[in-house]
Chain A
């Protein structure tokens, strides 16, 4: 409820006619503060483990990272100190970038085609894209593993990429499709009217306008792939990704270097999103002021 709404309720006849009993006042104070307090507490709940991970990334090294021993910069200065951490991060980055690139190309074309062209199987295709999103990850992972085992495919980098492209693509399609739907079809018609061939129109009129959507889809697709554990666990064989490294390491104690990586990813993501917001905010302001 906006402050405007609240002001209105105070001056509305309902409050001026009714006697302002203690109960009513209590109710109003509760109504005003309940939401911010409850919501705020929920955000604290959401961030507790992040803070914990961040704090323990500065813990002095030992065999395990369970109890606080003292502050050190050491882990941040040498995040590759623990064996296997950086190799797994590098592999996760490679998988994430490859899968995102493929999913973006396939997904953008699919989303554009579905939104702009009429054909017989459009509803069925939409349902097919939605299904992976409505299937538990264990089932996705298990069914892909069943396929790979049956055709005798070697589990490793490419089996993981194939699996990631599958679920990333559905996501990319849904994001970009809703964006294509908001594009003015007249712009593309104007492009064709002004001597642009269909390919030129897609490249110079449609694609530039989809860039914000493609960026967002790409960022989140990368995050999904980078952090996926369940599907990767089924289809990676002996290949170790970062989430897998953490899961396996949990048995013998997660090294503080993993906390460094996790904290750094959080901070980088925060930075990227904040910068993106500031840029778009400034652009909007510039447009407003120039008018």
Chain B
């Protein structure tokens, strides 16, 4: 029973954070057809912004969240302009593979610049709120976890409302389905593309502040979130938002059960094992639509 409750709690917390990083990635893929490998760097940068503002400057966590959002938004826009925009419509290249590689290059640059500036060490970031509540017989839920899950879920809901109700939200989904028709409707796609990547990066930056409170800020802090976001995105079916959110919690559940029941070292191998199995059975991901027969 203790195990079950602690698994449930961890699932919700992990799943919410993964969802926050992964919806950005899935949105970028759906709209730009880019699997953005620089999203991990945004988590890392968010962590350092949190460290700089809360630990070094001693300012309020709210400032840290806002600053992480702004900084990562700007970095995301720059990344799009530098590594994706020049390749749109280029002939004779596989756009998906080549942008996969350019955003990967950006990620290499970001994490090594961070390494140069802040060193390889782990920088502690305080929790935004302290304290915890005992749920059941030794299972504690920290307020930090509660806040993380709460804020992540709130952001995801707000994002869902934006996509289904607002003018640009609907336009963003329209672009993902038919770029040419969206242009006929007058949607300025050249401006929307960088904004989409900036916004997704900003979400990753917020996740970075939370994760740094849980672990540390460090130049490699984005690697594991990136891998997990990739898994979540592919698991959920690339470009499918509901699929991504379901997958985020599913992955959270697998990881929580594996580390609680078997041990933390084996959590990742088991996770990857499950992914291998899922892809073997459903090559298009959980909620992805199967590719039509190519002939």
* A and B: interacting chains: no
Tell me the B residues contacting A by CB distance below 8 Å. Answer: none
Tell me the A residues contacting B by CB distance below 8 Å. Answer: none
